[in-house]
Amino acid sequence: MRRVSDSARPARVVLVLGVLLLVVAVTGIFSARRGLQVQKGEAISIAREAIDFEPTGTTMRLVRQGIGGTAVWAVSFSIPAGGTFERLTTVVVHAGTGDIIEVNRDR
């Protein structure tokens, strides 16, 4: 004979796991923005100062870098040429201070 509490147990486990997953997802969303003082437009302006050409393409993304998970903007400026690039420079801007951390130039 099956007890009512035994049949309800899997539903409770699924509910608890669902709530935990939701908490982890929300925490991840907010932690991705933690330390973000420099907004997207500002990061582009700061990064543009580190290049010496007029790009035809600009892409960027907010990423975490290093052990502490420092928020940085990776801003790429390019001039496409066929299946490759005539010029490509990626500038890494600290999302908290606006300092340029790194400049990578590929010709």
User: What does the alpha-carbon distance between residue 72 and residue 94 come to, in Å, rounded to a whole number?
Assistant: 5
**pLDDT tens string 43-94:** 999 999 999 999 999 999 999 888 888 899 999 999 999 889 999 999 999 9
Model-wide pTM > 0.85: no
**72 contacts 92 by C-beta, under 8 angstroms:** yes
User: What does the alpha-carbon distance between residue 35 and residue 62 come to, in Å, rounded to a whole number?
Assistant: 11
Nearest alpha-carbon partner for 103 in 93, 61, 72: 93
Long-range CB pairs of 8-12 (<8 Å, 24+ gap) are none
